[in-house]
């Protein structure tokens, strides 16, 4: 029970703290609509499942002990965020999407955005690894650890679904879309800064 409460608490904290995942979900939900936001959240949840698999397989431990591998992963993630941010900034438009099929992005595109944003984030790998190293014990059964992983991925997914549902409420979405050009460019700059910050933090110290 103590382990379960610890896993739930850590998941809530990690999910709620704003970061690249939050920025991508919010942007896609506002611009692409509710389905785009939910599919982005699903992509993030699936990516977290990949990180959990790494941790359970011991790959996360290897990365955490290898400066070269960890920094390489950070640079890949940083490069993707910078690319995504610049693309978002350049594609910004004041045109407001209409309702229906023309309004949003394709579900698979939104899924890919969420998945790639999270799966290339080494902090997500370290989060999954820290849960299994600090919270669980050698006596914790494998199926219980898998259950913890499902809780983590499901919790993050549920949080971003709630974020999507709130920000796609008609009054809230209308307010944000009235500032669409500024908002898209801001999200682009924000993701670019996240990527640059991730790249700058790459150093010779152990994670």
pLDDT for 157 beyond 90: yes
Tell me what pLDDT residue 198 has: 67
pTM of the model: 0.73
Least confident interval from 1-10, 89-98, 165-174 = 89-98
pLDDT of 183 higher than 90: no
Q: Where are the alpha helices (DSSP H) in 33-168?
A: 34-57, 59-65, 67-90, 107-119, 122-130, 142-167
Longest dimension (CA), the chain: 57
């Amino acid at each position: 029970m103590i382990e379960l409460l610890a896993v739930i608490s850590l998941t809530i904290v990690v999910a709620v703290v704003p970061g690249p995942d939050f920025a991508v979900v919010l942007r896609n939900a506002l611009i692409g609509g509710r389905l785009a936001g939910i599919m982005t959240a699903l992509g993030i949840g699936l990516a977290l499942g990949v990180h959990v698999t790494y941790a359970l397989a011991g790959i996360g431990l290897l990365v955490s002990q290898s400066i070269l591998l960890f920094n390489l992963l950070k640079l890949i993630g940083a490069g993707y965020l910078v690319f995504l941010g610049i693309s978002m900034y350049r594609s910004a438009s004041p045109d407001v999407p209409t309702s229906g099929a023309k309004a949003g992005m394709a579900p698979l595109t939104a899924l890919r955005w969420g998945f790639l944003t999270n799966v290339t984030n080494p902090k997500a790998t370290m989060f999954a690894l820290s849960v299994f190293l600090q919270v669980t014990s050698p006596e914790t059964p494998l199926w219980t650890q898998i259950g913890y992983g499902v809780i983590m991925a499901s919790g993050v997914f549920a949080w971003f679904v709630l974020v999507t549902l709130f920000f796609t409420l008609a009054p809230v979405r209308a307010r944000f879309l009235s500032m669409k050009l500024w908002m898209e460019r801001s999200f682009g700059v924000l993701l670019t800064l996240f990527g640059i910050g991730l790249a700058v933090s790459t150093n010779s110290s152990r994670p």
